[in-house]
Structure 1
Amino acid sequence: MRSEQEIAQMQNCFRTFEGKIDDIELPKKFTFPFYYEPHPLCIQAAKELQHHISTQTDWTHNFGLNKDQEGMVIGKMFGVLVVRNSQNQLGYLAAFSGKLADQNHHKGFVPPVFDMLSKNSFFLEEQEQVNALNDKIENLENALELKEALLFFESEKSYAQSALEEQKQVMKAEKQARNQRRKEGKENLSEEDFSDLEKELQQESIKGKIVLKHLNLHWKERVEKAENSYNEFIQEINQLKKERKQRSAKLQRKLFDQYQFLNKDKQRKGLFEIFENTTNGVPPAAAGECAAPKLFQYAFENDLVPVAMAEFWWGASPKSEIRKHGQFYPSCRGKCEPILGHMLEGIEMDENPMLTNPATNKELPIVFEDDYLLVVNKPHDFLSVPGKTILDSVYARMREKFPNASGPLIVHRLDMATSGLMLIAKSEEIYKDLQSQFINRTVKKRYIALLDGEIEGNSGEVKLPIRVDLDDRPRQLVCYEYGKHAHTEWEKIEMKDGKTRVHFYPITGRTHQLRVHSAHSLGLNSPIVGDDLYGTKASRLHLHAEKIDFTHPISKERLSIQVDPNF
């Protein structure tokens, strides 16, 4: 039996629809969380939740939507889960990822799977210890004594180097003088006197080396003494850092142990068990704090039957990721896919579209061919090379068409969603020549795209470094620390009906480069129409590699091939 408090909490989180939903047909299967079109029930639930977020007065959080609001701007992912209760009543649950307004609990939102911020929790107590270590380390690293010890150590090394170099110069001059005396003695002295001179010169040489040896020992002792004084500080700092690392690892392990996830059959699994067979083998930071696991945990704890789900972003986009205010997004793969794999076990879901070959029955037109190479016009939603689960691709089709061809065949790639021209080499030699042209950037490519927005200016360039989002492959994000240099030049063609047609000239060729440079707020801030990763899904991605210029490896003729897009 549930307590009155538990029943009250359940009623507090179970939201009945305010709008009319009688004419909305229920989904036949549950939502596939990692690629979906939001069901109308989820759209209605999200609309009502967004109204609540915009009008409530219980808490204050700076989403970056009000320029006059103070505090750090933090956009947030929210989730809605349409559920049916034991009375067969349809409603929905709401959740947010991480914390909201620095709190884990808010009226109307499901609680976290584990509340690390609860009063007197081990996490807060341990965090205080870690923070105390942080303060000690920071104080020691900024201590005047440490700076003075380092300065003295560096000055002693400098003085030692100068003194030893000075002595070596003295010895060099003395050697030159001895050589001169030896030369003069050989010319002017008797054999006996010259022999005595040689002995005298040898003694002087030995004496100089002894002086240098003692000088070396003297300065070695002084430098070592200064270094030891400095290292005493460093050793103390390193010991504190080692203790901090051990405490943090222990705290993280203890924290992960508290996250136990349910599925519909009430089977529990902890984070370590869930992630033990993943690539890294350990849970990533903040695993279990996303909206989706919170929603399912609450539903299964309270015997609610999941019907459909959706997640949307609310607020300004982060500086690295591309998130649009109010737009729906799939669950992240790095953190959520292993967790939801357990939580949704036994629930019939929509098919995973990534397991279906979108190129079935699609032709691969050849627009140029000779004995050495060819150019194909790859359709959209067609792999360049085989994927993990789908083998059909440009490479597979070309290998089948030219079974005796040597080399990799594929000279360069296009994203699966992008259509357009691709170069194919029929031999290893031709492949190497064309690859060299790409490396030396003598191959010129032009793309055409339709952007979902109006952009200022007639031309320009975007330089934003890009790397893969480790928590949500294959998405890319902007990263100035680890990202690879990416450079795109662009030229406006026309603007019509709130959209802009542009030419792109990629100077580099990074994964999703044109898509990220289009959608990012520091780029053109207008995603490509149909971009299901960085914009809004449509019938297709409106990006086409329409023109390619290159030098024929055999004839040395400059070829220019163009095929217009079908959008």
Structure 2
Amino acid sequence: MDNIRYTLDETNGRERIDKVLAGLNEEWSRSFVQQLIRDGRVLVNGAAIKTNYKCNEGDQIEVELPELEELDIMPEEMDLQIYYEDGDVLVVNKPRGMVVHPAPGHTTGTLVNGLMAHCKDLSGINGVMRPGIVHRIDKDTSGLLMVAKNDMAHESLVQQLVDKTVTRKYKAIVHGVIPHDHGTIDAPIGRDKKDRQSMTVTDENSRHAVTHFRVLEKFKSFTFVECQLETGRTHQIRVHMKYIGYPLAGDPKYGPRKTLTTIEGQALHAGILGFVHPRTGEYLEFEAPLPEDFERVLDSLRNSD
């Protein structure tokens, strides 16, 4: 397998290498990165380093991933909504309720199972359970995902995420009426000490996170917003909107108990995705309409005002 290479910008300066690498690839945990470093699989400017190495702007990082195990995940025929596909990349609209990739004890019914039945060639950079997966969205979030069909495409798309040049815009319904028309949330996100399954805004073991939002429509007790990700942290929009006092409607983890009952899970849809094609250099942008259940909620809110 080809090695993965990153060039760091000024935002990564003086942070530990394990934290930086875990932040660059949404699918890598810090413990996974630390093991790669201990195994001598991470080079900075051509030299092996320790896990506590502090990064500098311009550092050239090279990561050698272990050889892939044979993939033991069954392809499953699914009616996937493919928005774009060529020999390098694929863009798919994931429905609400579908998990992106398998996990131990849960190896069927995922988007990866469907992708494996749809096409045999997927990149291997993120390991046997996550072939082709460059980024992900939560189970109960619907919307667009880019998938890499080879390692060249994967490296290019990941670097675009690192460089913050990928366009990712979400539509969401939040509790409360936001008084202003737009804003930016710049608050670091890390694991919640009290609940390791949840994320929170914290200065401890956190990653830089920025979300821009603008108000699309206001209702009596809710607001319809568009959120644009500058970074891609776990549960970022859900955590950030809760942090400023406007949690997502229907969110079982971060929202209030009394919420919308007409939608399963958080009212969040990854509607717009744009990136530069890894081979042609052409900028591509795609838009997926709101799911029917999301539209029904909006209609209900409009009619109740």
The structure-2 alpha-carbon separation of the partners of 1:460 and 1:404, relative to structure 1 and needing over 3 Å to count, comes to: closer
User: C-alpha distance in 1, partners of 2:184/2:77?
Assistant: 38
Residue of 109, 114, 119 corresponding to 1:402: 119
User: C-alpha distance in 1, partners of 2:214/2:148?
Assistant: 30
User: C-alpha distance in 2, partners of 1:482/1:561?
Assistant: 34
Any idea what SS the aligned residue of 1:475 has? strand
Task: Identify, as 1 or 2, the structure richer in strand.
Answer: 2
2:156 — aligned with what? Answer: 433
The structure-2 alpha-carbon separation of the partners of 1:533 and 1:402, relative to structure 1 and needing over 3 Å to count, comes to: same
Any idea what SS the aligned residue of 2:249 has? coil
Give the residue type in structure 2 aligned to 1:389: G
The structure-2 alpha-carbon separation of the partners of 1:397 and 1:519, relative to structure 1 and needing over 3 Å to count, comes to: same
The structure-2 alpha-carbon separation of the partners of 1:455 and 1:404, relative to structure 1 and needing over 3 Å to count, comes to: closer
Any idea what SS the aligned residue of 1:381 has? coil
Task: Identify, as 1 or 2, the structure richer in helix.
Answer: 1
Give the residue type in structure 2 aligned to 1:403: K
Structure number with greater Rg is: 1
* Structure 1 contact 466–479 (Cα < 8 Å) conserved: yes
The structure-2 alpha-carbon separation of the partners of 1:473 and 1:417, relative to structure 1 and needing over 3 Å to count, comes to: farther
Give the residue type in structure 1 aligned to 2:271: E
2:247 corresponds to 1:527:
yes
2:99 — aligned with what? Answer: 383
* Equivalence map 1:449-464=2 (5 Å): 449-464=172-187
Any idea what SS the aligned residue of 1:405 has? coil
TM-superposed CA distance for 1:383, in Å, is 1.1
Give the residue type in structure 2 aligned to 1:531: D
The structure-2 alpha-carbon separation of the partners of 1:526 and 1:427, relative to structure 1 and needing over 3 Å to count, comes to: same
* Structure 1 contact 547–561 (Cα < 8 Å) conserved: yes
Deviations 1:65-98 (A, max 9, x none): xxxxxxxxxxxxxxxxxxxxxxxxxxxxxxxxxx
User: C-alpha distance in 2, partners of 1:439/1:564?
Assistant: 27
Give the residue type in structure 1 aligned to 2:82: I
User: C-alpha distance in 2, partners of 1:527/1:381?
Assistant: 20
User: C-alpha distance in 1, partners of 2:104/2:193?
Assistant: 18
Deviations 1:258-295 (A, max 9, x none): xxxxxxxxxxxxxxxxxxxxxxxxxxxxxxxxxxxxxx
2:276 — aligned with what? Answer: 551
Deviations 1:216-262 (A, max 9, x none): xxxxxxxxxxxxxxxxxxxxxxxxxxxxxxxxxxxxxxxxxxxxxxx
Give the residue type in structure 2 aligned to 1:371: G
Residue of 415, 424, 430 corresponding to 2:138: 415
2:200 — aligned with what? Answer: 477
Any idea what SS the aligned residue of 2:281 has? coil
User: C-alpha distance in 2, partners of 1:375/1:399?
Assistant: 14
* Structure 2 contact 191–205 (Cα < 8 Å) conserved: no
User: C-alpha distance in 1, partners of 2:80/2:185?
Assistant: 32
Any idea what SS the aligned residue of 2:284 has? strand
* Equivalence map 1:43-122=2 (5 Å): none
TM-superposed CA distance for 1:479, in Å, is 1.2
2:289 — aligned with what? Answer: 564
Any idea what SS the aligned residue of 1:442 has? coil
2:301 — aligned with what? Answer: none
* Structure 1 contact 362–379 (Cα < 8 Å) conserved: no
TM-superposed CA distance for 1:361, in Å, is 10
User: C-alpha distance in 1, partners of 2:188/2:139?
Assistant: 22
Q: TM-score if structure 1 supplies the norm length? A: 0.35
2:90 — aligned with what? Answer: 374
TM-superposed CA distance for 1:414, in Å, is 0.7
5+ long unaligned stretches in structure 1: 1-359
Deviations 1:433-472 (A, max 9, x none): 1111111111111111011211120001112211112442
User: C-alpha distance in 1, partners of 2:93/2:197?
Assistant: 24
User: C-alpha distance in 2, partners of 1:419/1:546?
Assistant: 8
User: C-alpha distance in 1, partners of 2:105/2:193?
Assistant: 20
TM-superposed CA distance for 1:388, in Å, is 3.4
* Structure 1 contact 490–503 (Cα < 8 Å) conserved: yes
Deviations 1:401-443 (A, max 9, x none): 2224342311111111211100011111111111111111111
User: C-alpha distance in 2, partners of 1:374/1:528?
Assistant: 29
* Equivalence map 1:148-227=2 (5 Å): none
TM-superposed CA distance for 1:378, in Å, is 0.6
User: C-alpha distance in 1, partners of 2:210/2:116?
Assistant: 32
The structure-2 alpha-carbon separation of the partners of 1:517 and 1:410, relative to structure 1 and needing over 3 Å to count, comes to: same
TM-superposed CA distance for 1:508, in Å, is 1.0
Any idea what SS the aligned residue of 1:554 has? coil
* Structure 1 contact 374–424 (Cα < 8 Å) conserved: yes
* Equivalence map 1:241-280=2 (5 Å): none
In angstroms, what is the RMSD of aligned CA positions? 2.0
* Structure 1 contact 375–422 (Cα < 8 Å) conserved: yes
Any idea what SS the aligned residue of 2:184 has? strand
The structure-2 alpha-carbon separation of the partners of 1:497 and 1:388, relative to structure 1 and needing over 3 Å to count, comes to: farther
* Structure 1 contact 458–492 (Cα < 8 Å) conserved: yes
The structure-2 alpha-carbon separation of the partners of 1:533 and 1:361, relative to structure 1 and needing over 3 Å to count, comes to: farther
1:513 — aligned with what? Answer: 236
Q: TM-score if structure 2 supplies the norm length? A: 0.63
